[in-house]
């Protein structure tokens, strides 16, 4: 039986229903009627639209990610889509023991995924607009194809630096990338560039979600004229004091 009138894709229905087994209510998916989605507009990315999700208490900005037409959304395609985006999320918790931080990362990330809808005979995944941060900045693993939660490592063990970001300071970019290249394991600490809008003073935020006591801002005196000696000094302090302390935690730095 379909979850909503007019929905005729049992594979998507089954995916939504299987997510309801999660103890985390924020990871449960839903079928979202087209009537609750307004102001749909295209983006520069062909398979993504932005829109507004009409809700009981507060409307939200969302993105619609194309799955395919009714004919294209076969069980094989939907199953592969679910694998790429780790859906339903709770069923992947036992697969990440070798990567101690990854389960937290994709749990926080997938809290942005709300469910599915149908628009003009095409099926779409509905996600909070902030989900695009992960989608655009981390990209997909070139080895296994899944959407990554890290700018360096994939859960499959493949190491691949993301290039979907910049601090607009060439030296700082290279400094951050160097810290990423030096890691020998997904569980090693490294630096990441995070836009200021994703950090809230007094309370750490990752992708806009609160993570207390895990995100700190460390001010650096950096200009385009900063020489290598300054970076060497900062790198020494990180290696000596910061990396050992937070090596087993989900830890990021924000540079102003």
Query: pLDDT of 150-163, one tens digit each?
Result: 889 888 889 999 88
* Residue 220 confidence (pLDDT): 67
Answer with the one of 137, 160, 189 that is the final residue of a domain. Answer: 137
For residues 225 and 191, the model is more confident at 191
Instruction: Reply yes or no on whether the pLDDT at 117 is more than 80.
Output: yes
* Residue 164 confidence (pLDDT): 78
Same domain as 26, residue 133: yes
Same domain as 128, residue 27: yes
DSSP helix/strand/coil, 13: helix
Q: Among the ranges 38-47, 105-114, 132-141, 223-232, which has the highest mean pLDDT value?
A: 38-47
Answer with the one of 137, 162, 190 that is the final residue of a domain. Answer: 137
Same domain as 127, residue 239: no
In a domain, 1, yes or no: no
* Residue 201 confidence (pLDDT): 52
Average pLDDT of span 162-181: 85
Question: What is the distance between the alpha carbons of residues 23 and 19, in angstroms, rounded to a whole number?
Answer: 9
**What CATH number is given to the structural domain containing 109?**
3.30.200
* Residue 58 confidence (pLDDT): 80
DSSP state, residue 240: I
Same domain as 20, residue 122: yes
Same domain as 177, residue 103: no
* Residue 128 confidence (pLDDT): 92
Same domain as 131, residue 17: yes
Confidence band, pLDDT 50/70/90 cuts, at residue 197? low
Domain count, the chain: 2
Using alpha carbons, select from 43, 64, 62 the residue that is nearest to residue 54: 62
Same domain as 94, residue 198: no
Instruction: Identify the domain containing residue 228 by its residue range.
Output: 170-254
Same domain as 185, residue 113: no
Mean of per-residue pLDDT scores for the chain: 79
Q: Where are the beta strands (DSSP E) in the chain?
A: 30-31, 37-42, 48-53, 60-69, 113-119, 122-128, 205-206, 209-210, 215-217, 252-254
Answer with the one of 137, 156, 191 that is the final residue of a domain. Answer: 137
In a domain, 154, yes or no: no
Same domain as 174, residue 113: no
How would you class 141 by CB atoms within 10 Å of its CB: exposed for 0-12, middle for 13-18, buried for 19 or more? buried
Same domain as 98, residue 187: no
Using alpha carbons, select from 131, 155, 135 the residue that is nearest to residue 143: 155
In a domain, 159, yes or no: no
Same domain as 117, residue 15: yes
* Residue 236 confidence (pLDDT): 57
In a domain, 127, yes or no: yes
């Amino acid at each position: 039986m379909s979850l909503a009138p007019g929905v005729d894709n049992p594979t998507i229905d089954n995916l939504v229903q299987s997510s309801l087994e999660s103890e985390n209510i924020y990871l449960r998916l839903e079928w979202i009627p087209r009537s609750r989605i307004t102001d749909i507009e295209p983006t520069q990315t062909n398979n993504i639209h932005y829109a507004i999700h009409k809700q009981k208490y507060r409307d939200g900005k969302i993105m619609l990610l194309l799955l395919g037409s009714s004919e294209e959304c076969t069980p094989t395609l939907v199953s592969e889509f679910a694998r790429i985006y780790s859906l339903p999320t709770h069923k992947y918790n036992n697969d990440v023991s070798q990567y101690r931080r990854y389960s937290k990362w994709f749990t926080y990330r997938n809290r942005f995924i709300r469910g599915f809808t149908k628009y003009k005979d095409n099926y779409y995944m509905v996600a909070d607009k902030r989900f695009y941060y992960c989608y655009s900045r981390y990209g997909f693993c070139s080895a296994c194809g899944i959407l990554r939660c890290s700018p360096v490592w994939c859960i499959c063990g493949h190491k691949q630096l993301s290039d979907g970001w910049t601090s607009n300071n060439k030296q700082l970019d290279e400094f951050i990338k160097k810290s990423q290249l030096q890691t020998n394991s997904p569980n090693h600490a490294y630096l990441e560039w995070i836009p200021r809008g994703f950090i809230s003073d007094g309370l750490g935020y990752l992708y806009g979600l609160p993570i207390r006591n895990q995100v700190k801002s460390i001010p650096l005196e950096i200009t385009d004229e900063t020489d290598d000696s300054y970076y060497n000094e900062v790198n020494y302090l990180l290696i000596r004091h910061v990396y050992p302390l937070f090596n087993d935690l989900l830890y990021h730095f924000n540079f102003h």
